[in-house]
């Protein structure tokens, strides 16, 4: 049986026992009530019967008796009898015997009550005559000495009659002449009256005795007792049944209770285990296994409920190196030692909590004033730098960066500050400021910059080459070198994905350098083509880069003459002198200059007067719509005419289809580049022929 079934059975058993208990209670209550009802009525019957006997006795003895008492007794006896007959308990067939007994008792009592009526009738007459006689013989006529004998005789008669009545035995007057006789005329009438009454008594006494006996000698009282005994005996069986039932209920109840108690005990045990398992699980969830400090999860929970906290993000500078040098094991020891140190140190700041967020990153949440926080951080950095950490294989000194932040989102901002801090070796503490708002892209940017950095390190920055076609000869004369980043998975990142960001980083100049070097390498292999490289104002402004570049040109003087430089138009082309100087210098290598993306942005005709320019690259946004937009055609033609006048050749970008090509050819544009000819390619084509699709 499965546990579920056992539990179900237990519940069923419990419900059953409660139902049985309830039914027991109701039945037992009803039965007790009915039982009591019968017993009360039968007791009352007994009582009234006794009372009736008593009243009859009194009425027999007393000359004056209030017969209302007897009348009431009779009425009460009748109603009690009725009550008994209607007793609910007698409807139960178990009490059939009682019912039969009661029925015969009722007959008996009814007979008795009839006898009582008759008794009262006779009693009154006999009493009255005896009362009469008692007074009568005291009359003067009887008392006279001459009538002494008559008086004594009368007294004897009266006494015997009294005895007869009291003993209910006619033998007392057996053979006794109840009549007085006298010859004296003067008391003849008196004797006659006496005799009339004794005669009446003689006639009435036997009937009175019979009736009285039937009342006093009956066994009604005993029969009521018998009825009671019979009833009690039968009721006892019922009570026994109830006892048995109660025992059964008790057993069932006990079983279900025991089972329940067992289950409860088990439940409590299991629950306790569960609670302890849960708490240990919870502990492990919120604690760092290695250091025993609370972990990132705890940090997040704490920070969520903190009011205006300061977050101190601590990171061990060069931890990776320590791992590399001393091994991971020692690294772990350092982390533990470092944790202990932090813990010890932060004891002084009771309002602060310490967390290990991961690897060598630790955090402190504290609610202090800004100045206090700064002092805590600086003290901490100093003490850490002075402390010798015993990592068993060596004693080492470490340095930390601490980023501090109290602006939501707390961790992200602190993280950002820490990242900035990592790049800035001059500082070891940085307070996050709202100015770091670039942070929104910065995470991504930092990632991208990291990609760029690694690509540079791993030589994955490569030039792609897009042919530039002479539209008259339809031969490839040049290639534009376009920067690409080869990802580790082999995919190629387009410049728009990283170049803008790269411009803001120190890597941009490196990219330019790599492009020049690699393009020159290629140019060496393809002496039949010219290669144009994009140079921005930022590059020109970077003196170091410029020096590097010119050094490169110097080293590859012959190949350098194969190079064109496309100057990217930008707002910071105001330092004309510098540009003029640059152009002049590059031209000395035989490098030609073209202005890139002309026709949009900052296109400025002043370039033409100030700078010595060889080509004007007309922006693709104009070229690709000359077929469909007459205005664009007009602009295009204007630039073309203008360039022609200045003796500058044009290069049209975005030649995407035959139609555009036709227009360009009709106008007389010298060069074109675009997908209609070719996409940028990893290497230049060996043939200068264009295969048009």
Partner 1 sequence: MTKYFLVFLSSILLASEPITPIPKTVYVDMKKAKLGQELFFDTILSRDDSTACFSCHNVYEGGADSRKVSLGFHGKKGNIQSPTVLNARYNFRQFWNGRAANLLEQADGPLNNPAEHNMNKKDIEKKLNNSPYKKKFKKVYGTSKVKYKDVLDSIVAFEKALITPNAKFDKYLRGEATLSKNERQGYILFKQYGCMSCHNGINLGGNSYQKMGTFLEYKNDKEYPDRNKVSHHKHDINVYKVPTLRNISKTAPYFHDGSAKTLRESIDTMAKHNLGIYLTQEELQSIETFLYTLDGDTPSILETDVPQ
Number of separate helices (H) and strands (E) present in the chain: 23, 16
Closest to partner 1 by CB, 211 vs 536, is 211
Dist CA 306 CA 285 (whole Å): 20
Dist CA 192 CA 195 (whole Å): 5
Q: Shortest gap between Cβ of 200 and partner 1 (angstroms)?
A: 6
What per-residue string of b and e applies to 100-130 under the rule 16 or more CB within 10 Å gives b? ebbeebeeebeebbebbebbbebbeebbebb
Other Cβ atoms closer than 10 A to 441:
11
Is 127 a binding residue for partner 1 by CB under 8 A? The answer is yes
Is 14 a binding residue for partner 1 by CB under 8 A? The answer is no
Is 155 a binding residue for partner 1 by CB under 8 A? The answer is yes
3-state secondary structure 98-113: HHHHHHHHHHHHHHHH
Is 123 a binding residue for partner 1 by CB under 8 A? The answer is yes
Closest to partner 1 by CB, 110 vs 244, is 110
Closest to partner 1 by CB, 208 vs 589, is 208
Is 167 a binding residue for partner 1 by CB under 8 A? The answer is no
Closest to partner 1 by CB, 195 vs 367, is 195
Please work out, in degrees rounded to the nearest 5, the angle formed at the alpha carbon of residue 335 by the alpha carbons of 334 and 339: 115
Dist CA 357 CA 118 (whole Å): 117
Closest to partner 1 by CB, 64 vs 496, is 64
Q: Shortest gap between Cβ of 181 and partner 1 (angstroms)?
A: 19
* Binding region for partner 1 (CB under 8 A) out of 122-130, 486-494, 554-562, 602-610: 122-130
Other Cβ atoms closer than 10 A to 237:
10
| Backbone dihedral region for residue 310 (phi beyond 0: left; psi -120 to 50: alpha; all else: beta) | beta
Residues of this chain, 557-586, that bind partner 1 according to CB under 8 A = none
Closest to partner 1 by CB, 165 vs 530, is 165
Dist CA 80 CA 91 (whole Å): 17
Are 690 and 677 in contact by the 8 Å Cβ rule? The answer is yes
* Binding region for partner 1 (CB under 8 A) out of 154-162, 308-316, 362-370, 536-544: 154-162
User: 3-class DSSP state for residue 649?
Assistant: strand
Is 369 a binding residue for partner 1 by CB under 8 A? The answer is no
Are 679 and 642 in contact by the 8 Å Cβ rule? The answer is no
Dist CA 295 CA 288 (whole Å): 5
Identify the residue among 108, 111, 162, 552 touching partner 1 (CB under 8 A). Answer: 162
Q: Shortest gap between Cβ of 204 and partner 1 (angstroms)?
A: 8
3-state secondary structure 149-186: HHHHHHHHHHHHHHHHHHHCCHHHHCCCCCCCCCCCHH
Q: What is the DSSP pairing of strand 530-535 with strand 475-486?
A: parallel
Is 128 a binding residue for partner 1 by CB under 8 A? The answer is yes
DSSP character at residue 647: T
Closest to partner 1 by CB, 56 vs 373, is 56
* Binding region for partner 1 (CB under 8 A) out of 24-32, 125-133, 426-434, 625-633: 125-133
Identify the residue among 47, 121, 252, 442 touching partner 1 (CB under 8 A). Answer: 121
Closest to partner 1 by CB, 122 vs 526, is 122
* Binding region for partner 1 (CB under 8 A) out of 189-197, 287-295, 524-532, 658-666: 189-197
Tokens of 253: 């109840």
Residues of this chain, 35-74, that bind partner 1 according to CB under 8 A = 61-72, 74
Q: Shortest gap between Cβ of 173 and partner 1 (angstroms)?
A: 16
Closest to partner 1 by CB, 124 vs 681, is 124
Identify the residue among 6, 12, 96, 193 touching partner 1 (CB under 8 A). Answer: 193
Is 394 a binding residue for partner 1 by CB under 8 A? The answer is no
Tokens of 286: 């919120």
Is 118 a binding residue for partner 1 by CB under 8 A? The answer is yes
Closest to partner 1 by CB, 61 vs 251, is 61
Identify the residue among 24, 132, 341, 431 touching partner 1 (CB under 8 A). Answer: 132
- Radius of gyration for the alpha carbons in the chain, expressed in angstroms and rounded: 67
**Cα dihedral 49→51→55→61 (10° resolution):** 100
Please work out, in degrees rounded to the nearest 5, the angle formed at the alpha carbon of residue 346 by the alpha carbons of 341 and 347: 105
DSSP character at residue 94: G
Is 141 a binding residue for partner 1 by CB under 8 A? The answer is no
* Binding region for partner 1 (CB under 8 A) out of 196-204, 215-223, 308-316, 655-663: 196-204
Identify the residue among 19, 26, 96, 131 touching partner 1 (CB under 8 A). Answer: 131
Length of the chain: 693
Q: Could you identify the residue written with the tokens 């693709």?
A: 620
Identify the residue among 20, 50, 125, 250 touching partner 1 (CB under 8 A). Answer: 125
Closest to partner 1 by CB, 134 vs 638, is 134
Dist CA 561 CA 558 (whole Å): 6
Q: What is the DSSP pairing of strand 475-486 with strand 592-598?
A: unpaired
Q: Shortest gap between Cβ of 86 and partner 1 (angstroms)?
A: 17
Is 188 a binding residue for partner 1 by CB under 8 A? The answer is no
Is 192 a binding residue for partner 1 by CB under 8 A? The answer is no
Size of the site for partner 1 (CB under 8 A): 37
The CA-atom distances, in angstroms, between 298 and each of 241, 302, 336, 401, 418 are: 68, 6, 18, 22, 20
Collect all residues with Cβ–Cβ distance below 8 Å to 77 and sequence separation of at least 6.
Answer: 45, 48, 49, 52, 109, 113
Closest to partner 1 by CB, 194 vs 676, is 194
Closest to partner 1 by CB, 135 vs 693, is 135
Closest to partner 1 by CB, 135 vs 217, is 135
Backbone angles phi, psi at 357, to 5 degrees: -85, -25
Is 143 a binding residue for partner 1 by CB under 8 A? The answer is no
Q: What is the DSSP pairing of strand 461-470 with strand 429-431?
A: unpaired
Is 135 a binding residue for partner 1 by CB under 8 A? The answer is yes
Dist CA 653 CA 561 (whole Å): 23
Is 196 a binding residue for partner 1 by CB under 8 A? The answer is yes
Closest to partner 1 by CB, 216 vs 541, is 216
Kindly write out the interface string for residues 207-246 of this chain, putting x where it contacts partner 1 by CB under 8 A and - elsewhere: x---------------------------------------
Q: Where do the DSSP E strands lie in 144-292?
A: none
Is 197 a binding residue for partner 1 by CB under 8 A? The answer is yes
**Cα dihedral 278→280→284→286 (10° resolution):** 70
Is 117 a binding residue for partner 1 by CB under 8 A? The answer is yes
Please work out, in degrees rounded to the nearest 5, the angle formed at the alpha carbon of residue 363 by the alpha carbons of 359 and 367: 175
Is 368 a binding residue for partner 1 by CB under 8 A? The answer is no
Residues at the site binding partner 1, with contacts judged by CB under 8 A: 61-72, 74-75, 114, 117-118, 120-121, 123-125, 127-129, 131-132, 134-135, 155, 159, 162, 193, 196-197, 200, 207
């Amino acid at each position: 049986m499965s546990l579920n079934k056992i539990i179900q059975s237990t519940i069923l058993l419990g419900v059953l026992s409660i139902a049985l208990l309830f039914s027991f209670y109701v039945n037992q209550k009803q039965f007790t009530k009915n039982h009591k009802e019968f017993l009360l009525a039968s007791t009352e019957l007994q009582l009234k019967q006794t009372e009736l006997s008593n009243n009859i006795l009194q009425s027999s003895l007393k000359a004056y008796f209030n017969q209302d008492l007897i009348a009431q007794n009779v009425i009460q006896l009748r109603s009690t009898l009725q009550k008994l007959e209607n007793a609910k308990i007698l409807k139960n067939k178990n009490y059939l015997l009682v019912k039969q007994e009661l029925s015969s008792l009722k007959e008996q009592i009814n007979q008795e009550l009839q006898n009582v009526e008759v008794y009262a009738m006779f009693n009154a007459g006999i009493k009255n005559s005896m009362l009469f006689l008692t007074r009568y013989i005291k009359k003067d006529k009887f008392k006279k000495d001459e009538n002494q004998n008559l008086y004594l005789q009368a007294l004897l008669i009266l006494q015997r009659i009294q005895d007869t009545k009291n003993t209910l035995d006619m033998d007392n007057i057996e053979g006794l002449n109840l009549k007085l006789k006298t010859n004296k005329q003067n008391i003849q009438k008196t004797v006659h009256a006496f005799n009339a009454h004794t005669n009446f008594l003689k006639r009435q006494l036997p009937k009175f005795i019979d009736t009285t006996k039937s009342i006093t000698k009956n066994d009604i009282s005993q029969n009521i007792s018998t009825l009671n005994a019979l009833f009690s005996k039968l009721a006892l069986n019922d009570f026994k049944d109830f006892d048995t039932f109660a025992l059964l209920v008790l057993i069932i109840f006990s079983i279900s209770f025991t089972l329940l108690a067992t289950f409860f005990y088990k439940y409590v045990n299991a629950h306790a285990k569960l609670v302890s398992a849960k708490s240990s699980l919870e502990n492990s969830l919120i604690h760092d296994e290695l250091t025993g400090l609370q972990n990132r999860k705890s940090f997040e929970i704490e920070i969520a409920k903190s009011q205006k906290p300061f977050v101190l993000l601590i990171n061990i500078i060069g931890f990776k190196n320590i791992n590399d040098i001393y091994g991971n094991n020692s690294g772990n020891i350092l982390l533990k030692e470092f944790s202990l140190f932090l813990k010890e140190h932060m004891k002084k700041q009771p309002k602060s909590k310490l967390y290990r967020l991961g690897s060598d990153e630790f955090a402190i949440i504290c609610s202090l004033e800004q100045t206090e926080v700064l002092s805590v951080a600086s003290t901490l950095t100093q003490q850490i730098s002075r402390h010798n950490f015993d990592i068993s294989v060596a004693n080492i000194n470490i340095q930390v960066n601490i980023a501090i932040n109290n602006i939501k989102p707390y961790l992200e901002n602190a993280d950002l500050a820490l990242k900035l801090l990592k790049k800035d070796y001059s500082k070891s503490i940085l307070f996050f400021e709202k100015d770091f708002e670039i942070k929104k892209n910065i995470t991504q940017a930092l990632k991208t910059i990291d990609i760029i950095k690694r690509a540079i390190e791993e030589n994955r920055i490569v030039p792609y080459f897009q042919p530039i076609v002479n539209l008259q000869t339809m031969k490839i004369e040049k290639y534009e070198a376009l920067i690409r980043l080869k990802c580790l998975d082999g995919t190629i990142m387009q410049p728009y994905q990283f170049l803008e960001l790269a411009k803001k980083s120190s890597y941009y100049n490196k990219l330019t350098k790599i492009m020049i070097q690699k393009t020159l390498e290629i140019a060496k292999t393809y002496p039949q083509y010219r290669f144009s490289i994009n140079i921005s104002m930022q590059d020109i402004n970077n003196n170091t880069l410029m020096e590097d570049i010119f050094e490169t040109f110097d080293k590859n003087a012959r190949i350098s003459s194969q190079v064109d430089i496309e100057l990217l138009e930008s707002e910071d082309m105001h330092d004309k002198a510098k540009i003029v100087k640059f152009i002049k210098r590059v031209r000395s290598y035989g490098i030609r200059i073209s202005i890139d993306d002309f026709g949009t942005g900052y296109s400025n005709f002043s370039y033409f007067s100030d700078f010595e320019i060889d080509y004007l690259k007309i922006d693709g946004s104009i070229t690709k719509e000359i077929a469909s937009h007459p205005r664009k055609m007009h602009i295009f033609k204007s630039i073309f005419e203008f360039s022609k006048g200045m003796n500058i050749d044009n290069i049209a970008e975005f030649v995407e289809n035959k139609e555009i090509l036709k227009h360009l050819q009709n106008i007389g544009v010298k060069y074109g580049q675009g997908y209609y000819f070719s996409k940028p390619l990893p290497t230049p084509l060996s043939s200068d022929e264009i295969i048009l699709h």
